Amino acid sequence: MATWIKEAISEEQRDEAQKQIRDTVEKLLEDIDKRGDTAVRELSKRFDNWSPDEFRLSEKEIQSCIDRLDAQTIGDIRFAQEQIRNFAQIQRDSMKDVEEETLPGVILGHRNIPTNRVGSYVPGGKFPMVASAHMSVVTAKVAGVKEIITCAPPYEGRPSDAIVAAQHLGGADDIFVIGGVQAVAAMALGTESIPAVDMLVGPGNAYVAEAKRQLYGRVGIDLFAGPTETLVIADETVDGEMCATDLLGQAEHGPTSPAVLLTNSMNLARQTLEEVKKQMKNLSTRDTAAPAWQNYGQIIVADSYDEMLEIANELAFEHVQVMTKKDDWFLENMINYGALFLGPRTNVSYGDKVIGTNHTLPTLKAARYTGGLWVGKFLKTCTYQKILNNEASVKVGEYCSRLCKLEGFAGHKEQADLRVRRYSGEAA
């Protein structure tokens, strides 16, 4: 039976907070749907104190942002995008169009068709999330998306030079400086100045995640990517310093970001708890990390590796860092997670920023039914069929007619019967 050395706030408290977010977002979406650009401008002024003449950046403004960055920063952005592009291309190459003759004269196939227009949201009001531009824009480009629109909030009162550079170098067609719910709503619903997209992608805070949830259906979405979650699975092969560092490295994302240690070592659990207290004192982002750890942090001590696995699959967290003597066993047996980080030599930060796998991942237990953003999310796998001769049409038609009668669908039956009548004589 597992023991909780540190617990998070109750599910009831979380649900109440989520209800307030849901109600707020619903009103904002309704306003933007009715008033378009006017509502977007008012909300941008209210939440970000940002109301430029144009939200869309001109080519000159984009180039000015790039020119303000030093060569090292541009090189780092290009390196990260190269890793993400390379892995996305490997994934794209694994997806094949197919066409087969499944019966004599019957051809079935599918094509992988890129989404036409995608809206990419890049969070950046509190921290300029440069990597999110790589993850969505570069991956969409590899998939063959025809048009990519991106939005990011202003950072410290102006466009973030690094985010704009990443959006542009990644291949964005239009860059807008708008944040929050107003950004994703504008892209999904369309306004006088922002064309409606077919699909929304990108992570965000709890309000952005809720907006995507409510907009789903009017547009496609990648997944529900809300506040960051991290689970560290560890045994005594690592120490409390490393566990605490990996927990706080993700807790700093936001005040509602869960960070959980799952271990079979009481000694490591207590050591990590003390290390978190020690490291928090010197962490420059403790204003964000401290409430996240206080309200959402947990330390769980399990009796065995099997129980650790069971708890981990039940949590279904976004990021799962595994540092044990059985890392490959966890890889083989874990079924619910956004991304795995195996062994102490890697960590979630590598995945967040540069290594090449995508960092837009499922949260709030969505890992039970979906993986993260990848090139395949931007592709529609669409089937087709054709019949090459009369004999094949008659054969399929006779089966179809009887099956339609079984279900009581007269119109469907006639579609089949017409082909049987028309082509059976010719087939003979």
DSSP state of 343: S
Q: How far apart are CA 249 and CA 347, in angstroms?
A: 10
Lookup result for tokens 């650790």: 308
Tokens coding 271:
């050591």
The gap from C-alpha 376 to its chain's centroid, in whole angstroms, comes to 12
Could you tell me how many residues make up the chain? 428
Strand, coil or helix: 200: strand
| 319 carries an active-site annotation | yes
Render 391-409 in DSSP notation, one character per residue: HHHHHHHHHHHHHHHHHT-
Q: How far apart are CA 48 and CA 133, in angstroms?
A: 20
| 134 carries an active-site annotation | no
Tokens coding 36:
């378009």
Lookup result for tokens 């920063």: 73
Of 168, 253, 319, 359, the active-site residue reads 319
Tokens coding 343:
């062994």
Burial tier of 83 (Cβ tally within 10 Å: 0-12, 13-18, 19+): middle
H helix or E strand, kind and range, residue 381: strand 379-387
Q: How far apart are CA 249 and CA 42, in angstroms?
A: 35
Taking each helix axis from N to C terminus, what angle separates 161-170 and 71-93, rounded to the nearest 10 degrees?
40
Of 168, 275, 318, 359, the active-site residue reads 318
Asked whether the beta carbons of 89 and 118 are under 8 A apart, the reply is no
Show Cβ contacts of residue 52 under 8 Å, excluding neighbours closer than 6 positions: 177
Residues with catalytic roles: 318-319
